[in-house]
Structure 1
């Protein structure tokens, strides 16, 4: 359920981050994510992690025939966050992406893409090699205070811990409701085509990863074995693979109709954790439990940020930046929150469709 994009930012739009925090604190939080991109590159090299890393950047493709959208975004990123997203004119982009759907784009050169599970396994191997112990298949069933720390109980035993970090995703386990009730479990969908060989260049003639300017955007990337990994849509429904393949195949063909006869070999979905404010929630509860949740929609760099921040805070090196306190454990209101999220998504989809129709050539 992770597309493997590694680039700066959070799920919350950078313009909204700027509005909420102001220029200094917004840039501080954004810079943490670009530093994390560099750190992940360094780790891949240092530990020899074989994760299909492709250092070819990411393209934001403009779905709408409105150049001002891209220019506004480019200026915002340059002036407020100190990053230079390079303009890609419509003709150049059309040579790379063989579709009539896009109207130019922006290129983020420092970004890359990779196989996220292979990366995580590589990081885990590095932890183990350094003496860390990782226990799989031992979910915590209960967590309760004990002395100056906690007792974490599993089915086969208990662990006395001075520090506890809650860093799960969208799968609630009713272990620590204060954190688990602060995120919405939102489903997302991904599929992979069969290997396309030379046909890949008939649709995608770039090694960069791609996403577009809609609220309900597609995100996709060419894989080393010439498949296309394609993701998109969010929903409160965790659908079966066959249904996911049908939905995403339709999205693929809207952009690349020349691939109509291509087989979809894999399709899957999973639950992400979203906070109502669309920012990760990183900090410590009053009872001493640390937490890092709410990374849905933009996870690789921000989760790396959270690991670095919590490690520094737990070791006493430095506290979690105060700006994250603006995005705390806000209640999500359970079923009502899920219904509101689905309604918001449907509304934004309709808005995107209306904007595209207004700009469509007659």
Structure 2
């Protein structure tokens, strides 16, 4: 396997046949250069190409090679930062507008799938965010109030309703979002690339952006993006990578922390999977580093979870993921893991995307923190309309900035914070189990 082959995953094993695209090997001109062939770059390129802009997208490896082609496949509104925290930080009106922008991202993804005539990419509808601790009598009222504040469609489910569809004593209440859905993310990325090309855009693979320089004088000047074999002269550059931006812009690359999560897909489990999980939508729990999963291929379980700043793949990843599954659904018994893989997400310390113009003609669309399938579309929409002359949507993200993420020290601090949050989750569950046992006796 070369560095340009897709990493082993269930998505790679079931991806559409797609051409390998040539690298940029000459000097070219365009209106906009987009660095990064994940969802942030693909959505930006497609939206601008639809408006008649000449776009050229540069991808270091293959389209959807990174987190965009390896994630859980969940499409839904919201951000990595909790909506309640955003209300406290920004005020209700601003937080409501940010949430509306994330819903715009959901709509962009859904409309694109319909436009491509690819209903097979959409694999299920609805999402349950389940709690592993009892949220108390006020849960339903709190959930409805937050939904009303945000203009959201989610609703509370009580424990009995959750356990009607998820046969586990681990879960209590849930938040149900009927507007969410789940997809085959790698096939969606490939479909976006094809749509860009049909609009006249250029998509280059195996093309590393190694230098970015201002062309001309003052704010009216453009940019030159140099690659190993060629260059692009453009009016605007959109940096749509994460911590892997590297030499093209080291300061912005340093504003993002690489964080690993893991995904596994089981062998076919037959009827026992449907007996345990009678829900065809997406499922995640509300712990600080929770599980997320869904049924795929009728009777396989796709299961993701864990968060760490150590980006090396664990030696016994399949065993680790099997234990996580059986800790929630022990009735599944013996299960074989067909595929297991890591994915690297980009997090900013403030847990919000970095979206906007960082200097004249230079834009960032990055750091979606594991909440990227709709939010990359939301960020791309903001950047695209910004390039077209309307800065209002980018201004929604202005409070968060692109400050340094702390380098190696930042990764250590983040890992310590994750361990602390995970310990709090463990203690909350243990304390509730002890209280329940005390009541029984």
* TM-score scaled by length of structure 1: 0.95
Change (3 A) 1:69 1:238: farther
Which residue of 1 is the match for residue 301 of structure 2?
228
Contact 1:185 1:273 (8 Å CA) reproduced: yes
Which residue of 2 is the match for residue 156 of structure 1?
229
In the alignment, the residues of structure 2 paired with residue 69 and residue 153 of structure 1 have an alpha-carbon distance, to the nearest angstrom, of: 57
Kindly report which structure 2 residues correspond to 1:233-272, keeping only aligned pairs within 5 A, or say none.
Answer: 233-240=306-313, 242-272=315-345
Contact 1:57 1:110 (8 Å CA) reproduced: yes
Which residue of 2 is the match for residue 182 of structure 1?
255
Q: CA deviation at 1:88?
A: 2.1
Q: CA deviation at 1:241?
A: 6.2
Match of 1:315 among 388, 408, 415: 388
In the alignment, the residues of structure 1 paired with residue 243 and residue 144 of structure 2 have an alpha-carbon distance, to the nearest angstrom, of: 34
In the alignment, the residues of structure 2 paired with residue 73 and residue 338 of structure 1 have an alpha-carbon distance, to the nearest angstrom, of: 34
Which residue of 2 is the match for residue 101 of structure 1?
170
The unaligned stretches of length 5 or more in structure 1 are: none
Contact 1:70 1:106 (8 Å CA) reproduced: no
CA deviation profile, 1:70-106 (whole Å, cap 9, x unmatched) = 4365134323102242222222221211111011312
In the alignment, the residues of structure 1 paired with residue 315 and residue 336 of structure 2 have an alpha-carbon distance, to the nearest angstrom, of: 12
In the alignment, the residues of structure 1 paired with residue 118 and residue 210 of structure 2 have an alpha-carbon distance, to the nearest angstrom, of: 32
Change (3 A) 1:224 1:107: same
Match of 2:208 among 139, 142, 145: 139
Match of 2:197 among 119, 122, 128: 128
Which residue of 1 is the match for residue 52 of structure 2?
none
Which residue of 1 is the match for residue 32 of structure 2?
none
Change (3 A) 1:335 1:51: farther
CA deviation profile, 1:218-243 (whole Å, cap 9, x unmatched) = 00011133211111111111233653
In the alignment, the residues of structure 1 paired with residue 138 and residue 334 of structure 2 have an alpha-carbon distance, to the nearest angstrom, of: 34
Q: CA deviation at 1:270?
A: 2.1
Whether 1:335 aligns to 2:404 is: no
In the alignment, the residues of structure 2 paired with residue 69 and residue 182 of structure 1 have an alpha-carbon distance, to the nearest angstrom, of: 39
Which residue of 2 is the match for residue 291 of structure 1?
364
In the alignment, the residues of structure 2 paired with residue 62 and residue 36 of structure 1 have an alpha-carbon distance, to the nearest angstrom, of: 26
Deviating more after overlay: 235-244 vs 289-298: 235-244
Q: CA deviation at 1:289?
A: 1.4
Whether 1:64 aligns to 2:133 is: yes
Match of 1:304 among 369, 374, 377: 377
**Root mean square deviation of aligned Cα:** 1.7
Q: CA deviation at 1:259?
A: 2.0
In the alignment, the residues of structure 2 paired with residue 141 and residue 49 of structure 1 have an alpha-carbon distance, to the nearest angstrom, of: 35
Which residue of 2 is the match for residue 192 of structure 1?
265
In the alignment, the residues of structure 2 paired with residue 190 and residue 79 of structure 1 have an alpha-carbon distance, to the nearest angstrom, of: 34
Which residue of 2 is the match for residue 54 of structure 1?
123
Contact 1:51 1:116 (8 Å CA) reproduced: no
Change (3 A) 1:267 1:138: same
Contact 2:99 2:150 (8 Å CA) reproduced: yes
CA deviation profile, 1:313-338 (whole Å, cap 9, x unmatched) = 11214444423110000111101100
Whether 1:7 aligns to 2:76 is: yes
Aligned length: 362
In the alignment, the residues of structure 2 paired with residue 181 and residue 72 of structure 1 have an alpha-carbon distance, to the nearest angstrom, of: 41
Contact 1:183 1:273 (8 Å CA) reproduced: yes
